[in-house]
């Protein structure tokens, strides 16, 4: 798992034409990549009337924080952040917990069905969401829950329902990645533990999991963005606008007819901020997360 | 956001409600008495106004600022303060996109439109019968036409009308004044006005069809002007063929008018097209009264409309397209009494006036609303609709939702992209209509 | 001791309570996964043979292959155009974002100043919510009158990027690659390139630098080093990228959806959503038929990948 390791120093090449061209190419491409983002940020500070009159890329006649204020209030952003937290944290924790258990059992022991089991998870992760959604909705809509678990009295319309489908769906990818990772840990670890009298749970929790932490951390950052960015499940499985997570409520600012793009731009910034922060802080884990499974694929 | 301070002259009734709690209760008691004093011969259970208590959930797709505040004001005006209304706000598009799943787990009171689709949901047994709410007093304050628009195939009412607006050709009077133009009465007038506009370097019609619903408005106007109300309604219901010569004539006429429109409408949002009208780059636009929402603060008075001119003397300009927004009740609401009380309230002048005080781009169906508070534009909408013998809703409200969004919207976009391919487009439409309406 | 007889050792991995613990550890997550992912999938396949409206179970009628028949006849223009778009997207993802992603990874893997900064920029679109991405492209870039693309290339005139459904590359009269689909491909590339870049960056880190140095000393030029030393050692990554690309091309949904699905840019997942859930939804039968077609296409590929992957693992384990 060399990917998690820091990049070692390498000798810097001499300054030559090729090198300059390289910089120019990379910098220009990066600039192109930044344009849509910069445009949205710019628009978020301008009144609607300005961009309607002059276009998105024009000298601003005035800059304002009004869009942010209005988006925050009208979009009820604080509550939407909270809704996201309520769904995201349990979903993330249980996705990792569940998939690490399956990965552990399947990769550390040989038994008849482990390949089949891993195949089910791996393939499940690659299914289109659309094939799942309608029966899932119908099922959720027929499961009754006590009031304290669900405002609607059903699994449909409860945070629990969204959490469960996130766990079920995302554990496909995580199981795949973690089993690849765990397979590379020396077999002798288990044997040694067994001789010491450690049971299966102890082997999992005290021996294997601590060694798997780098992979868990990497997956956690990745799954954080995936679950955070999901809107498909939430839009279909939660009918209460106020209870939807932030990504699926961005559109909340569009009206029956009229949509204020600048307001949406400001709201987008609120939506984008958490993933950007997580990404910037944990960039290293991110890259590792995407590639751990890949390395020995 | 446009705030329209100039229009925010609240109706007296609204202030009466929100400021004077005692007056409020008296009024509620009076209304209850009214409900009880209706002819005893009616065997239906009456709604006992003022008796409900507890929470009522109200679905809302009034997601941008102005309608959102308007709805809150109307809810605050609910006389029965023992009912606690919980508003569930969802953005308009998402709400619409997910209506089928939403209706299987809905709020007590549901926002929707009058027309075919309301009747469709009623027939699917997804809605609650509110005939008794009508009997409790709405029959008196709402014209027969609104009652018809609220009635499903089984003859019962499932809908309370709330606001409406009108489709027509909207323009800025100041632009017309500057150029000495007047609103055209006939197609010839319109043609010559359009060529005057072109000479002045102005595109006659702003046109945007992103989202694939705005062009349906133009289709509707052309179809009922050329072929009449009945043909339009039958076509929408799948009873007439899209390969009929009469449908073809709609598209031929449309094609001849396209050079007067902004080019490439499919990628332009209606807001962008309306912005061209605001900026006086386009002279007029076939759209609904909601175009006012794009007008900047202080300029909202500079907006007027005229009816789409006559195309066939047999039908004149007798049909108007005036979509009615309103409310329905869930089939099994958590709080039946509360839901009915709220629905009744929404049908009254008080609630509607409270809403219009915030959002003056619509008009109230209730005959009791004080129209002296209306802007000239609202007055004109009111007159046009009152005078019309036949009223349509809008293509996507007058036909099967599947047909509207998966067939008609796409076909119109294809036509606008390549008018010459209309024959094959109409053949496909008919085949798809048959598949959909057969089910 | 058990090492000497591995077969016997395997059988004795679990004893008594451990057997049940292991069963629970694997079983509970599996039940959840199967119940919420696989059973609905099977249910969708079954529903595709009905005319269900999605409201009451008692209204389910079996209609045989009618939904499929309609998709292949009256709705064929939508269906085949979607199929073309999915295929074009697949090819495009390989020659566009994948190639660019490898290129950027290769360049950024060298010790250039600010490499982390550049990586950050290219990867940012991957972490952004699709709602944000959709807004950026629809309004900021592709707005007919106001967008940056219009201001740059329009020369004062409006350009219809998203709505121009005429074919840039026609395949006969009815099908082709539409101009607006090409515009959307650009937006997809913007999002996808960073993903590919990061995968290859990680792969490149594991390439033995001494091999490169050795090849350079042999007088190989940059391209030859890449072609003969670096690229072959990236094989595991190539497999993963191939899987991701094929699956993403088949499942592609979000950017097109948030751009309001302009005409002729429909892909299979969009047709499914429109028929199953959208405003015109409620036709669960036909929607499920679209979903099943999408599933079959994905699944064929998934089966191939999974059997390959685990056969290799199996062989690795047995040898």
How does DSSP assign B188-251, residue by residue? HHHHHHHHHHHHTT-EEE----TTS-HHHHHHHHHHHHHHHHHHHHHHHTT-S-TTSHHHHHHH
Round the CA-based radius of gyration of chain B to a whole number and report it. 22
Chain A residues touching residue C295 (CB < 8 angstroms): 127-128, 131
Using a CB-CB cut-off of 8 Å, the residues of chain C touching A172 are 33, 37
Cβ-based interface (< 8 Å): residues of B facing A: 1, 60-68, 88-94, 97-98, 101-102, 104-107, 269-271, 275, 278-279, 288, 290, 293-294, 296
Q: How many CB atoms lie within 10 A of CB B141?
A: 17
Query: Which residues 172-191 of chain A have a CB within 8 Å of chain C?
Result: 172, 175, 183, 191
Rounded to whole angstroms, the Cα distance separating C254 from C269 reads 9
Nearest-angstrom CA–CA distance, B257 and A143? 55
What is the nearest CA distance from C62 to chain B, expressed in angstroms?
13
Q: What are A154's two structure tokens?
A: 């059903």
pLDDT band at B28 (very low <50, low <70, confident <90, very high): very low
* Contact between A56 and C148 using a beta-carbon 8 Å cutoff: yes
Partners of chain B (3+ Cβ pairs below 8 A): A, C
Torsion of CA B193, B198, B201, B205, to 10 degrees: 80
Pairwise CB contact (< 8 Å): C148 & A35: yes
Of A17-31, A38-52, B151-165, least confident by mean pLDDT is A38-52
For residue A255, give the nearest of B67, B90, B104 by CB distance.
B67
Question: Which among B65, B103, B397 is the top mutation candidate for probing chain A, defined by the most A β-carbons within 10 Å of its own β-carbon?
Answer: B65
For A125, the closest chain C residue by CA position comes to C37
How far is Cα C18 from Cα B423, in angstroms, rounded to an integer?
A: 72
pLDDT of residue B394: 95
Q: What is the nearest CA distance from A157 to chain C, expressed in angstroms? A: 16
A3-13: average pLDDT: 43
Q: Is A110 on the interface with C (CB under 8 A)?
A: yes
Dig out the tokens for C101 from the structure: 């992603």
- Which residues of chain C are within 8 Å of residue A27 when distances are taken between CB atoms? 118
ipTM: 0.86
Choosing among B94, B96, B100, which should be mutated to test the C contact, i.e. which has the most C CBs within 10 A?
B100
Among residues 226-285 of chain B, which lie with CB inside 8 Å of chain C?
263-268, 272, 275-276
Write out pLDDT tens, residues B278-329: 989 999 999 999 898 888 878 889 999 999 999 999 999 999 999 999 999 9
pLDDT in tens, A215-259: 898 889 889 988 998 888 988 888 887 888 888 766 555 545 556
Question: What is residue A8's predicted lDDT score, i.e. its pLDDT?
Answer: 40
Task: Note whether C300 contacts A: Cβ–Cβ < 8 A.
Answer: no
Q: Does any CB of chain C come closer than 8 Å to the CB of residue A4? A: no
Would the pTM count as exceeding 0.90? no
The β-bridge relationship of strands B83-89 and B109-113 is unpaired
Sequence-separated contacts (24+) of B378-385 with Cβ below 8 Å: B380/B304, B380/B305, B381/B164, B381/B165, B381/B166, B381/B289, B381/B322, B384/B166, B384/B168, B384/B307, B384/B320, B384/B322, B385/B164, B385/B166, B385/B320, B385/B322
Q: Do B266 and C70 touch (CB under 8 A)?
A: no
Tell me whether A132 touches chain C (CB under 8 Å): yes
Confirm or reject contact between A254 and chain B (CB < 8 A).
Answer: yes
Using a CB-CB cut-off of 8 Å, the residues of chain B touching A262 are none
Query: Furthest-apart CA pair in chain A: how many Å?
Result: 77
Q: Are B293 and B2 in contact (CB under 8 A)?
A: yes
Q: Give dist(CA C4, CA B106) in Å, integer.
A: 65
CB C175 within 8 A of CB C156: no
Best to test chain B binding among C74, C176, C270, C275 (most B CBs inside 10 Å): C74
Between B210 and A170, residue with greater pLDDT:
A170
Confidence of residue B34 (pLDDT cuts 50, 70, 90): very low
The Cα–Cα gap between C240 and B388 comes to 65
Residue B196 CB neighbour total at 10 angstroms: 15
Please report which helix (H) or strand (E) contains residue A104, including its range.
helix A77-108
- Which residue, chain included where needed, has tokens 């007029």? B284
To the nearest whole percent, how much of chain B has pLDDT over 90?
66
Going by their DSSP bridges, the two strands B83-89 and B319-321 should be labelled as unpaired
B94, B105, B296 member nearest A154 (Cβ): B105
β-sheet bridge partners, residue B111: B327
**Contact status, residue B434 vs residue B236, Cβ threshold 8 Å:** no
**Helical packing angle, C115-127 and A261-281, nearest 10°:** 130
Nearest to C40 among A109, A122, A132 (CB): A132
CB-CB under 8 Å, A117 with C30: yes
Q: With both helix axes pointing from N to C terminus, report the angle between C284-318 and C235-251 in degrees, rounded to the nearest 10.
A: 170
Residues of C with Cβ-Cβ distance to B276 under 8 angstroms: 145
The verdict on C67 touching A (C-beta cutoff 8 Å) is no
Nearest to A56 among C146, C190, C240 (CB): C146
Query: Which among C271, C258, C117, C105 has a CA at the least distance from the CA of C187?
Result: C258
- Is B284 in a helix, a strand, or coil? strand
Contact yes or no for C199/A292 (Cβ under 8 A): no
Which one, of B296, B272, C125, lies nearest residue A56 by Cα?
A: B272
Best mutation site among A102, A128, A164 for testing chain C: the one with the most C CBs within 10 Å? A128
Residue whose tokens read 């329902």: A161
Of C127, C295, C298, which to mutate for an interface test with A (greatest number of A Cβ within 10 Å)? C127
Contacts of B63 in chain A (CB under 8 A): 241, 252-256
Please give the full DSSP string across B163-188, using - where no structure is assigned: EE--EEEEE-HHHHHHHT----SSHH
Tell me the C-alpha distance between B20 and B401, whole Å.
Answer: 45
**Is residue C169 within 8 Å of residue C177, measured between CB atoms?**
yes
Q: Do B88 and A239 touch (CB under 8 A)?
A: yes
CB distance from A220 to chain C under 8 Å?
A: no
> For each of chain C's 319 residues, which pLDDT tens digit applies?
333 333 434 445 667 788 889 899 999 999 999 999 999 999 999 999 999 888 888 889 999 999 999 999 999 999 999 999 999 999 999 999 999 999 999 888 876 788 888 988 998 898 887 777 887 888 888 888 778 888 888 777 878 888 899 999 999 888 999 999 999 999 999 999 998 998 888 788 777 778 778 887 888 887 888 888 888 888 878 877 888 888 889 988 888 888 877 889 999 999 998 888 876 667 889 999 999 999 999 888 888 888 877 776 666 554 4
Termini Cα distance of chain B? 44
Tens of pLDDT, residues C24-82: 999 999 999 999 999 999 999 999 999 988 888 888 999 999 999 999 999 999 999 99
């Amino acid at each position: 798992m060399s990917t998690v390791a820091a990049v070692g120093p390498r000798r810097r090449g001499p300054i030559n034409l090729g090198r300059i061209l390289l910089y120019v190419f990379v910098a220009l491409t990066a600039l192109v990549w930044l344009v849509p983002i910069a445009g949205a940020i710019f628009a978020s500070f301008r009144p609607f009337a300005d961009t309607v009159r002059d276009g998105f890329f024009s000298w601003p006649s005035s800059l304002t924080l009004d869009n942010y204020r209005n988006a925050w209030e009208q979009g009820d952003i604080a509550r939407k952040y909270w809704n996201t937290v309520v769904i995201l944290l349990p979903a993330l924790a249980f996705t990792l917990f569940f998939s690490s258990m399956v990965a552990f059992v399947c990769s550390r022991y040989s038994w008849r069905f482990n390949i089949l089991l891993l195949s089910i998870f791996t393939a499940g992760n690659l299914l289109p969401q659309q094939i799942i959604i309608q029966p899932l909705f119908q099922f959720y809509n027929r499961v009754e829950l006590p009031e304290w678990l669900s405002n609607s009295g059903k699994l449909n319309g409860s945070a629990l329902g969204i959490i469960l489908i996130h766990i079920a769906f995302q554990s496909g990818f995580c199981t795949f990645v973690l089993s690849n990772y765990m397979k590379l840990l020396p077999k002798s670890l288990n044997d040694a533990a067994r001789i010491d009298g450690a049971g299966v749970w102890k082997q999992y929790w005290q021996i294997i999991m601590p060694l798997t932490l780098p992979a868990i951390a990497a997956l956690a950052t990745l799954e954080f963005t995936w679950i955070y960015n999901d809107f498909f499940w939430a839009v279909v499985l939660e009918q209460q606008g106020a209870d939807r997570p932030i990504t699926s409520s961005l559109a909340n600012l569009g009206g029956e007819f009229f949509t204020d793009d600048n307001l949406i731009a400001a709201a987008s910034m609120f939506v984008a901020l958490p993933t950007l922060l997580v990404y910037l802080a944990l960039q290293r884990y991110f890259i590792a997360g995407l590639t751990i499974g890949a390395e020995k694929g | 956001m446009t705030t329209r301070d100039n229009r925010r002259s609240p109706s007296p009734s609204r202030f009466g409600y929100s400021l004077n709690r005692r007056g409020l209760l008296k009024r509620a008691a009076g209304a209850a008495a009214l409900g009880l004093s209706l002819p005893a011969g009616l065997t239906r259970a009456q709604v006992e106004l003022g008796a409900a208590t507890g929470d009522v959930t109200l679905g809302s797709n009034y997601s941008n600022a102005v309608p959102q505040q308007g709805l809150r004001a109307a809810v605050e005006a609910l006389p029965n303060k023992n009912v606690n209304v919980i508003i569930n706000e969802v953005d308009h598009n998402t709400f619409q996109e997910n209506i089928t799943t939403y209706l299987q787990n809905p709020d007590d009171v549901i926002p929707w439109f009058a027309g075919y689709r309301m009747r469709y949901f009623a027939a699917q047994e997804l809605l609650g019968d509110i005939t008794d709410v009508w009997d409790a007093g709405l029959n008196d304050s709402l014209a027969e036409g609104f009652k018809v628009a609220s009635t499903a195939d089984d003859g019962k009412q499932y809908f309370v009308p709330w606001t409406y607006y009108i489709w027509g050709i909207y323009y800025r009077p100041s632009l017309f004044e500057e150029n000495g133009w007047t609103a055209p009465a006939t197609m010839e007038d319109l043609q010559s006005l359009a060529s005057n506009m072109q000479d002045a370097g102005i595109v006659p019609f702003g046109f945007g069809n992103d989202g694939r619903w705005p062009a349906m408005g133009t289709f509707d106007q052309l179809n009922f002007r050329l072929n009449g109300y009945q043909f339009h309604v039958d076509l929408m219901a799948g009873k007439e063929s899209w390969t009929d010569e009469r449908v073809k004539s709609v598209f031929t006429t449309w094609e001849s008018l396209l050079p007067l429109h902004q080019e490439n409408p499919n990628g332009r949002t209606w807001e962008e097209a309306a912005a061209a009208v605001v900026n006086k780059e386009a002279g007029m636009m076939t759209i609904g009264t909601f175009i006012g929402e794009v007008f900047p603060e202080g300029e909202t008075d500079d907006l007027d409309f005229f009816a789409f001119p006559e195309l066939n003397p047999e039908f004149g300009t007798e049909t108007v397209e005036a979509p009615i927004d309103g409310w329905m009740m869930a089939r099994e609401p958590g709080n039946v009494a509360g839901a009915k009380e709220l629905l009744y309230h929404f049908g009254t002048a008080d609630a509607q006036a409270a809403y219009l005080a915030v959002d003056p781009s619509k008009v109230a169906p209730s005959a009791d609303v004080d129209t002296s508070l209306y802007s000239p534009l609202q007055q004109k909408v009111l007159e046009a609709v009152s005078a019309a013998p036949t009223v349509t809703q809008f293509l996507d409200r007058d036909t099967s939702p599947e047909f509207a969004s998966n067939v008609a919207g796409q076909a119109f976009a294809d036509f606008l992209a390549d008018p010459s391919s209309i024959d094959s487009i109409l053949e496909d439409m008919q085949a798809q209509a048959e598949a959909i309406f057969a089910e | 001791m058990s090492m000497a007889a591995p077969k016997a050792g395997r059988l004795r991995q679990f004893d008594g309570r451990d057997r049940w613990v292991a069963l629970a550890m694997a079983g509970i997550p599996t039940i959840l996964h199967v119940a919420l992912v696989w059973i609905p999938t099977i249910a969708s396949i079954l529903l595709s043979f009905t005319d269900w409206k999605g409201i009451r179970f008692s209204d389910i009628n079996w209609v045989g292959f009618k939904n499929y028949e309609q998709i292949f006849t009256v709705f064929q223009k939508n269906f085949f155009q979607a199929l073309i778009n999915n295929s074009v997207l697949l090819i495009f993802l390989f020659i566009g974002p994948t190639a660019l992603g490898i290129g950027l990874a290769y360049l950024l893997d060298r010790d250039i100043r600010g490499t982390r900064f550049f990586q950050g920029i290219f990867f940012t679109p991957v972490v952004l919510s699709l709602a944000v991405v959709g807004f950026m492209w629809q309004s900021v870039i592709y707005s007919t009158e106001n967008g940056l693309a219009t201001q740059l290339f329009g020369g004062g005139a409006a350009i219809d990027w998203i709505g121009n459904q005429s074919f840039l590359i026609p395949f006969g009269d009815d099908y082709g690659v539409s101009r607006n689909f090409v515009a959307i491909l650009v937006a997809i590339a913007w999002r996808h390139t960073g993903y590919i870049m990061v995968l290859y960056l990680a792969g490149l880190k594991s390439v033995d630098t001494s091999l490169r140095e050795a090849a350079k000393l042999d007088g190989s030029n940059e391209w030859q080093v890449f072609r003969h030393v670096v690229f072959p050692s990236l094989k595991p990554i190539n497999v993963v990228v191939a899987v991701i690309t094929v699956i993403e091309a088949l499942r592609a949904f979000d950017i097109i959806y948030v751009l309001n699905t302009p005409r002729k840019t429909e892909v299979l997942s969009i047709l499914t959503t429109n028929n199953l859930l959208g405003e015109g939804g409620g036709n669960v039968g036909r929607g499920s038929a679209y979903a099943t077609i999408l599933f079959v296409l994905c699944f064929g590929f998934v089966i191939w990948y999974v059997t390959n992957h685990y056969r290799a693992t199996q062989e690795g384990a047995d040898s």
